[in-house]
Amino acid sequence: MSGGPALERMTQGDALALYASGPWTARYAPDLETLVGDVEKMNSKSKRVLIDVSKVAKLDTFGAWLIERLSRSLAMTGAELRIAGLSANYSTLVDEVRRVKETPPPDREPVTIRATLDRIGRSVAQIGDTLIGIIEMTGALLFALWTVVRHPSRFRFTSVVHHLEQVCWRAVPIIVLITFLIGCIIAQQGLFHFRRFGADVFVVDMLGVLVLREIGVLLVAIMVAGRSGSAYTAELGSMKMREEIDALRTMGFDPIEVLVLPRIIALVIGLPALTFLGAMAALYGGGLVAWLYGGVEPEAFLLRLRDAISIDHFMIGMIKAPFMAIVIGIVACVEGMLVRGSAESLGQHTTASVVKGIFFVIVMDGIFAIFFASIGK
């Protein structure tokens, strides 16, 4: 014998005998593959097959798997199969290999109409769940507010101040910077395009109306949703993960009253303040660009601004802010309370909180636009 593995074939009528010999190990993988492949390709019509492995000198998982693969492919042709000469040492190995599933489970569900419809249906149901969650949270919040109004001593003033610092005071630099830059960009773009019509000075009108009515509040709300909404979700979610919320409940606290109410009140106070600051910074930035880039003198800018905008524009922007704050706060807290045990779930809900928060802010802005248009403002 040459030392390599071998697989001899012998045919007797409708019976086929295969004699395996030599080392059946991973070292001889290429040889073994060819041997077994040949037999598989042979496509015999034999009704009975015997695989004799008594002369196999060495067997490892690879060899055992090839024997199993061979017997499977032969069994597919409908032959009656017998494996002979398997020593006790190797039988466990072959048995183990046999347990391997023939076809691995598919990695992904196949894309079918049914699966697609299923996914769409689930997404729609999730939207419904989100809305129900928001309504539930609003109800719980109003109840908590009522409790606090009846028992003012239970109101957690310290907590409100703490969150006011987090969402408002610490947000001032970034909000002012971003709105200042946006104001600059609006003015620059306005000048660049209006100049062709000789309408430089109308930039002031555009800047004033746009910033006070829309951009100021919208930009600030989106920033706050990303900055504070995600923080709220992460804070509540991690408390939920560590069972701190359950601990509060067993000690007789309403987590809505203790945790959610102060956060939302802080947002309702903080967001209008930030909106005001943001609008002023944007006007300042716009004015600066108009002066330095467009040659509109500050006096002319202010004069024009006084004509172009009324207190209504300013009020419309400011009225929207607390509503945006409530929406952001509620969405963030709903998501925080939905966090389950794992860190993965915390991440998912934090992302969802920001996405949904920004979405609802924009929807809200659209609704306000329709409302103000219909009352003629």
Partner 1 sequence: MTIEVRNIVKKFGSFTALDSVDLKVGKGELLALLGPSGSGKTTLLRIIAGLDWPDGGEVRFDGENALARGAGERHVGFVFQHYALFRHMNVFENVAFGLRVQPRAVRLNETAIKKRVNELLDLVQLAWLSDRYPSQLSGGQRQRIALARALAIEPRILLLDEPFGALDAKVRKELRRWLRSLHDEIHVTSIFVTHDQEEALEVANRVVVMDKGRIEQIGTPGEVYDNPATAFVHGFIGESIVLPVDVRDGRVELGGKPLNLEPQGAGAGPSRLFVRRHDMQVGPAGSGVIEGAVRRVRAFGPIQRADVALPGGEGETLIEIDTPRDRELNPGDLVGLQPRRYRIFSAST
Note whether 246 binds partner 1 by CB under 8 A. yes
Contacts of 36 (CB under 8 A, 6+ apart): 7, 66, 69, 70
118 binds partner 1 (CB under 8 A): no
Q: Which one of 46-54, 128-136, 243-251, 364-372 is the stretch in contact with partner 1 (CB under 8 A)? A: 243-251
- Please say which residue, 48 or 156, places its beta carbon nearer to partner 1: 156
332 contact partners, CB below 8 Å, separation of at least 6 = 225, 228, 229, 230, 232, 233, 236, 263, 353, 357
Cβ atoms of residues 332 and 353 within 8 Å: yes
48 or 162: CB nearest partner 1: 162
Instruction: Give DSSP secondary structure letters for 270-318.
Output: HHHHHHHHHHHHHHHHHHHHHHHTT---HHHHHHHHHHH--HHHHHHHH
Q: Per rule CB under 8 A, is residue 235 in the interface with partner 1? A: no
Stretch that binds partner 1, among 64-72, 249-257, 262-270, 327-335 (CB under 8 A): 249-257
The torsion angles phi and psi of 55, rounded to 5 degrees, stand at: -95, 5
65, 95 contact by CB (below 8 A): no
Q: Which stretch binds partner 1 (CB under 8 A): 99-107, 137-145, 240-248, 327-335?
A: 240-248
In the bound state with partner 1, the residue whose beta carbon lies nearer, of 153 and 374, is 153
CA neighbor of 32 nearest in space, from 58, 7, 2: 7
Amino acid occupying residue 203: V
Q: Where does this chain touch partner 1 (CB under 8 A) — which range of 64-72, 128-136, 237-245, 344-352?
A: 237-245
Q: Which of 252, 311, 370, 375 binds partner 1 (CB under 8 A)?
A: 252
Q: Using the rule CB under 8 A, is 340 a contact of partner 1? A: no
Q: Which of 247, 303, 315, 343 binds partner 1 (CB under 8 A)?
A: 247
Specify the residue for token string 């007797």. 12
Kindly tell me which of 103 and 153 has the beta carbon lying closer to partner 1: 153
> What is the smallest separation between the CB atom of 153 and partner 1, expressed in angstroms?
8
Q: Tell me the two tokens of residue 185.
A: 């960009």
Nearest approach in angstroms of CB 249 to partner 1 is 4
Q: Is 249 in the site for partner 1 (CB under 8 A)?
A: yes
Residue whose CB is less far from partner 1, 167 or 207 = 167
Please give the radius of gyration of the chain, using alpha carbons only, rounded to the nearest integer. 37
Residue 78 vs 252, nearer CB to partner 1? 252
User: How many other CB atoms are there within 10 angstroms of residue 50's CB atom?
Assistant: 18
State both tokens at 189.
Answer: 């773009």
- Per residue in 203-213, is it b (16+ CB within 10 Å) or e — as a string? bbbbbbbbbbb
In the bound state with partner 1, the residue whose beta carbon lies nearer, of 146 and 192, is: 146
Q: Name the segment binding partner 1 (CB under 8 A); options: 50-58, 168-176, 248-256, 287-295.
A: 248-256
The phi and psi torsions of 52 (rounded to 5 degrees) equal -100, 120
Closest to 225 measured CA to CA, from 151, 336, 331, 298: 331
Site for partner 1, residues 254 to 273, rule: CB under 8 A: 254
Binding characters for partner 1, 132-161, by CB under 8 A (x = yes): ---------------------x--------
Task: Name the minimum Å distance from CB 244 to partner 1.
Answer: 5
Identified binder of partner 1 from the candidate list 242, 306, 340, 377, rule CB under 8 A = 242
**Which residue, 129 or 307, is less far from partner 1 as judged by CB?**
129
Rounded to the nearest angstrom, the gap between the alpha carbon of residue 287 and the centroid of all alpha carbons in its chain is: 39
> Which of 62, 202, 253, 359 touches partner 1 (CB under 8 A)?
253
* 8 lies in the binding site for partner 1 (CB under 8 A): no
Amino acid letter, 325 = A
Position 98 contacts partner 1 (CB under 8 A): no
Secondary structure of residue 123 in the 3-state scheme: helix
Provide the binding-site residues for partner 1, judged by CB under 8 A.
153, 242-244, 246-247, 249-254
